[in-house]
Amino acid sequence: MRYIAHGADKSSAWLGLGLALVLMLMLIATFLSGTPARADTPQTEQVILRCQMEGSSREATIALAGTQAVYRFGTPGQAPELTLRERLMDLDYRRARGIGSTIDETITFRNHDTFYRFTTGFRDKLQPDPTAYHRFGHVTVSRAGKILAKLVCREATIERIPEKLTQVMIAEGRKTDSTGETFPNYTIQYPAPARQSPPCEQTFNVDSCWSRGAEMERSGDLAAALGHYDMSCAAKFNTAGCYDAGKFYLHNRQLRNYARAQDRFTRACDGTDPGEGPYACKYLGWMALTGTGMPRDYDKAWSLLARACFLHNDVLMIDAEGCHFFAQTALEKYGQAPRHRDMANYAAYIALAMGCSDNAQTVCAEGRALYQREAARNARWLKQCAKDASDRSTQFSCAALIEYDKNYDVSQAKRRVLNSLFLRAIDS
């Protein structure tokens, strides 16, 4: 790496380098927005990251120039205070899965014994809308393991082209990030809005519209992602787009539409994909249980959540949270009536045991607590559970059903027993 400082003396130049480097890192991590180059950026370069720092008029930019990444820091419209260059093949670059399907990225530059680490991506759970994705970027400067400074980008100024740096490094022949993680094998593209995009085409186990939606979600443009997911759902090659669209329509305040969420989840719940179907059934069951977007309906919730926890597919892939909600439904629907209380607790326990088989520890704890409460009052259903378990297996007692086993074959054997107990319980 080499740096070029423009200034009056060495000390101020070095400070400018530090801040610029920090911002550069910041910009390299916050990068990616396809923003046209400004007058102070050579037209042979493509800016992939730009932001202004909080409490400062200075900005940092990261640009691609052939086989190099170029960082500049300074006041817009003036000569940069600092310029840094690094070969793409040598760049310290790390990526991680962010919220949803977004990609968070960290880029580190080194100047002698000083490191400038910039991280950028998205975060959620922030006010005023906890369901929105919020851009963030920050650069930390450290030496000998000690943090010297941390610069934060103003969110409104962050311009970023998602994964552009990864795309160019792959084209240069680089195969991994700096941790050894293999770069993605999907084609990185920046699709037009759904209404301007070509029809969906089948691609392996998904389709081109779903892939475009996933790329837009990684970039943080959720409205654009939803448009492509809806196209995928309408094309009916698979139900992946239906499921992902349903989540946006349910969870995101700006995109919320309960009727559409119900429609998209229904298509996925009725589909044959064992990896997403139980989850779609869970969301529908939760909506019915809580009266979210539809009238509260315990019977409907019971039916949908039973599919999420037990009945969606023959390979017994499940949604553990759906099992929790099924147990809640059983107790709310039947648990208050004395003549149905045993059946309600038995069904709830079986559901919680099924969820526990997926290593959902909160569900395991919930099931153990239920068993202990019922044992303390010598509930009649415990004897029935013990008999049913012994009839179907010598491997599991009723109490052992609520214990997680990391062995896949043992876990699947337990699920088969639980499924059989569930069918017998609701039949009786």
Chain centroid to CA 135:
15
The closest alpha carbon to 64, from 35, 23, 103, belongs to: 35
Q: Which two tokens stand for residue 381?
A: 């259903």
Q: Single out the residue of 212, 258, 263, 259 nearest to residue 234, CA to CA.
A: 263
pLDDT given at position 14:
39
Selection from 390, 316, 402 nearest residue 352 by Cα: 402
More confident residue, 380 or 84: 380
Q: Answer positive or negative: Cα dihedral of 105, 240, 281, 309.
A: negative
Q: What span, in angstroms and rounded, lies between the C-alpha atoms of 274 and 396?
A: 26
- Reply yes or no on whether the pLDDT at 15 is more than 60: no
Residue 38 reports pLDDT greater than 80: no
For residue 97, the surrounding DSSP H or E stretch is strand 92-97
Instruction: Give the residue ranges of DSSP H helices in 89-175.
Output: 164-172
DSSP, residue by residue, 232-263: HHHHTS-SHHHHHHHHHHHH-TTT--HHHHHH
Q: Phi and psi for 135 in degrees, rounded to 5?
A: -70, 145
Mean pLDDT computed over 159-182:
91
pLDDT at 174 over 60: yes
Q: Is residue 169 very low, low, confident or very high in pLDDT (cuts 50, 70, 90)?
A: very high
Whole-number Cα distances in Å, 276 to 265, 413, 416: 10, 22, 20
17 pLDDT above the threshold of 80: no
Q: What's the pLDDT score for residue 385?
A: 95
Per-residue pLDDT, averaged over 17-27, amounts to: 44
Cα–Cα distance measured from residue 18 to residue 9, given in angstroms and rounded to the nearest whole number: 14
- Give the separation between CA 143 and CA 163, rounded to whole angstroms: 28
Confidence of residue 41 (pLDDT cuts 50, 70, 90): low
Decide if pLDDT at 27 tops 70: no
Beta bridge partners of 87: 68
Query: Measured between alpha carbons, how far is 29 from 254 in angstroms, rounded to an integer?
Result: 27
Mean pLDDT over 325-341 rounds to 90
Give me the pLDDT at residue 420, please. 95
In this predicted model, what pLDDT tens digit does every residue of 124-143 receive, in sequence order? 878 888 888 899 998 888 99
Which 3 state secondary structure label does DSSP give 93?
Answer: strand
Give the pLDDT of residue 43.
Answer: 58
Q: Which range, 65-69, 90-94, 207-211, 258-262, is most confident?
A: 258-262
C-alpha of 159 from chain center: 22
Q: Which range is least confidently modeled, 230-239, 307-316, 384-393?
A: 384-393
Q: Is 99 helix (H, G, I), strand (E, B) or coil?
A: coil
Residues 401-426, mean pLDDT to the nearest whole number: 94
Q: Distance between CA 104 and CA 196 in Å, rounded?
A: 28
Per-residue pLDDT averaged across 49-73, rounded?
Answer: 90
pLDDT band at 270 (very low <50, low <70, confident <90, very high): very high
